[in-house]
Amino acid sequence: MSRFYKRLICLVMLVFVISGAVIYFTVDIHTLTNLTLFQPWSLAMAMGFVALGLFLDGSRLMHLVHISKEDITLSQAVQVVFGNYFLALLTPGATGGAVAQLMFLRKAGVPTGKATVLVFVRTIVSILFLLFCLPFIFWHDAHILPGVSNARLGVISFTVFLLFAALGAAIRANLLNHLAVRIARKLAVPRRRTFLNIYRDTRNAIRLLGSSPKAMLLVFAESGLSLIAIYAVVPCLFLGLGVQGTDWYTVMGRMIFLNMLLYFTPTPGGSGIAEGGFVLLFSEMVPAGTVGIIAVCWRLIAEYIPFVIGLYYTVKVFGAAFLDRKTIEP
pLDDT digits (tens, 9 = 90+) for 112-127: 888 888 998 898 899 8
Work out the average pLDDT over 202-227: 86
Check: CB of residue 278 under 8 Å from CB of residue 19. Answer: no
Between residues 150 and 81, which one has the greater pLDDT?
81
Which of 45, 67, 43, 75 lies closest to 121, judged by CA?
Answer: 67
% of the chain surpassing 70 pLDDT: 97
The answer to whether residue 207 scores a pLDDT higher than 80 is no
* Mean pLDDT calculated for residue range 231-260: 92
Asked if residue 32 has pLDDT above 60, the reply is yes
- Tens-place pLDDT, residues 252-264: 999 999 999 888 8
pLDDT at 326: 58
pLDDT class of 245 with cuts at 50, 70, 90: confident
Instruction: Band the pLDDT of 319: cuts 50, 70, 90.
Output: confident
Instruction: Report the pLDDT averaged over residues 277-299.
Output: 94
pLDDT given at position 188: 81
- Determine the average pLDDT of the residues in 228-238: 96
Please say if the pLDDT value at position 279 is more than 80.
yes
Query: pTM here?
Result: 0.87
- Classify residue 9: in a domain, yes or no: yes
272, part of any domain: yes
Instruction: Give per-residue pLDDT as tens, 88-146.
Output: 888 776 678 888 999 999 999 998 888 888 998 898 899 889 988 988 888 888 778 77
Task: Tell whether the model's pLDDT for residue 329 goes beyond 60.
Answer: no
Determine the pLDDT at residue 195. Answer: 81
Is the pLDDT confidence value at 325 over 80? no
What's the average model confidence in pLDDT over 140-153? 76
Q: Is 111 inside a domain boundary? A: yes
301 located within any domain? yes
Predicted pLDDT of residue 328: 55
Q: Is the pLDDT of residue 168 over 90?
A: no
Q: What is the mean pLDDT of the chain?
A: 87
Q: Is residue 83's pLDDT more than 90?
A: yes
Say if 329 falls within a structural domain.
no
Whether 330 is in a domain gets the answer no
Q: What is the pLDDT of residue 237?
A: 95
Per the structure, the count of domains in the chain is: 1
Residue range of the domain that includes 140: 3-324
Q: Which tops the pLDDT comparison, 166 or 21?
A: 21
pLDDT computed for residue 330 by the predictor: 52
